[in-house]
Structure 1
């Protein structure tokens, strides 16, 4: 059974570093959560390393600029690892061809920007669907109005053409302010349901954790044992499942995506939390309503 805690400081001394999710944990897409910022500041000031581990389809630099814009100071964290960077490396390898059809908003175009750290990206071309060798999905064209059902025709043509889909963000939904919107993971799941083949590079899949370990070691100047790293996140099938698959401890933020299921006000109802976790057959190391 998961342990319900009131404050991160109750367990933080057990860890040298954290992999902290962004949406639902540190911010809501519009503003940072003051208590979460303070909790990470205290951990940082005690010598802990903070790596932001996000299923954002954008490159690290783009995520940092986004965080600047909503008021998350750069001195709060030491490194960033994104699903987008993991997917970009796979795309740059040439394993999916050079000509790709992009599903996603214009704000995600930095995904395709040449990067000296990822050789091969400069060879990737965005082309119409009928000329593509694969699909890259970073999100919906318009996540404010569309749903996966709007992509039925695109997916039918893509499947008939034998195209595989690279999903740069495995999240199904995310809360943007007070609105819940679909992410690239919802489209990848819909494509798979229609008989297509989808590939994932963010949480809970291994590539993003490999990237995180490399970047954390570089920031620390040494390898950090996984037993001394805590994952923090609100996605039961991304953050929690990914951490457990990697044999890492995880602090589940029940007041994010699972707020209603766990009756988090501001802490989760123990019985509803247990029922929710049993439903998914997962048991996080600890649970807290909101990071604080």
Structure 2
């Protein structure tokens, strides 16, 4: 397995929602893929923008799904937000928490006070995902932000992949406060590189690989941190989104899901692929036949190099492949 993708790295940093699991359902093959990383001798880290659970709870959830995990392998956006607040506020400063009790605990562990309603001493607002967040919570936060409190968002993911489909994420609640206050938050989690950098340092990694499903957080955060990234189509990312991705959101490798870690690295790279010819002009003309994901890798390479994203097919095989990718 010396030519496998995972063999080229000393740590693999996994996103969770949409990459390892969908809510209470594990993505098929995930336990085996993570096990293969450990067998290779590489470190495993779980890096999540979901701030609703404490690391110990994340570990319990992973273990219930058949994945090996330890608390020191989990890095959450709640921890990142607490670190940002700790750097910017004096010890004991009051932080209004919009989120779960586990988020409040992370803030308290940073030496800060936590409140749920505005008082005269509120210096900051921290906002993380919680299914219990309601209008009253947002109202308190809006008052504090309008009064000048520092606003830190754990993440701005608009949606959250679950076993039922995409549901509103923390970014949707952040958008409500952004509209109500005309203010932009400081974002602590992905796409900021802090989470990935912290996870890599904790593993003493010199060459980490990020695996994630969301272009504007997982891939963008990895690019910002200068790390290679495998984008997977098991969550939010779509072929159209990949084809039109801006430079800051372009992965180095592409696969259907994380089980591709044991496949040949060369087969997963974005670039020209056997069987497919992409002719660049006013549109990208596809000729040939072969693996559908190989076509997407080749199309991304051509689109990113040329700036052309409109696609057409020549031949039945190419037409069928584009239809399969929902690009036709």
In 2, Cα distance between equivalents of 1:164 and 1:183:
21
- Listed one character per residue, the Cα deviations across residues 223-277 of structure 1 (whole Å, up to 9, x for unaligned) are x32xx2111000100111111112211000122112xx43xxxxxxxxx4xx633
Please give the TM-score of this superposition, normalised by the length of structure 1. 0.74
- Find the partner of 1:101 among 96, 100, 112: 96
The answer to whether the 8 A contact 1:49-1:78 is kept is no
In 1, Cα distance between equivalents of 2:118 and 2:130:
15
- SS of 1:133's equivalent in the other structure is strand
Q: Does 1:16 align with 2:6?
A: no
Match of 1:276 in 2: 242
| TM-fit CA distance, 1:107 | 6.0
The answer to whether the 8 A contact 2:96-2:117 is kept is yes
Match of 1:243 in 2: 222
Cα 1:69/1:27, change in 2 over 3 Å: same
In 1, Cα distance between equivalents of 2:246 and 2:136:
29
- Listed one character per residue, the Cα deviations across residues 205-234 of structure 1 (whole Å, up to 9, x for unaligned) are 0321332132111xxxxxx32xx2111000
Match of 2:48 in 1: 54
- Find the partner of 1:233 among 186, 190, 212: 212
Give the number of the structure with larger relative contact order, counting CA–CA contacts within 8 Å between residues 6 or more apart: 1
In 2, Cα distance between equivalents of 1:84 and 1:151:
18
Report the aligned-residue RMSD.
3.0
In 1, Cα distance between equivalents of 2:63 and 2:154:
22
Please give the TM-score of this superposition, normalised by the length of structure 2. 0.67
Match of 2:118 in 1: 129
In 2, Cα distance between equivalents of 1:256 and 1:167:
22
In 1, Cα distance between equivalents of 2:66 and 2:54:
19
Cα 1:153/1:59, change in 2 over 3 Å: closer
Q: Does 1:79 align with 2:68?
A: no
Match of 1:168 in 2: 154
In 2, Cα distance between equivalents of 1:277 and 1:85:
33
The answer to whether the 8 A contact 1:170-1:200 is kept is yes
Match of 1:269 in 2: none
| TM-fit CA distance, 1:113 | 5.2
The answer to whether the 8 A contact 1:60-1:85 is kept is no
Match of 1:36 in 2: 30
Within a 5 Å distance, the mapping from 1:140-151 to structure 2 comes to: 140-142=130-132
- Find the partner of 1:214 among 201, 226, 230: 201
- SS of 2:132's equivalent in the other structure is coil
Match of 1:289 in 2: 256
Q: Does 1:158 align with 2:144?
A: yes
Cα 1:70/1:124, change in 2 over 3 Å: farther
In 1, Cα distance between equivalents of 2:16 and 2:153:
19
Q: Does 1:203 align with 2:190?
A: yes
Mean Cα deviation higher: 29-38 or 277-286: 277-286
Unaligned runs of 5+ in 1: 1-6, 218-223, 263-271
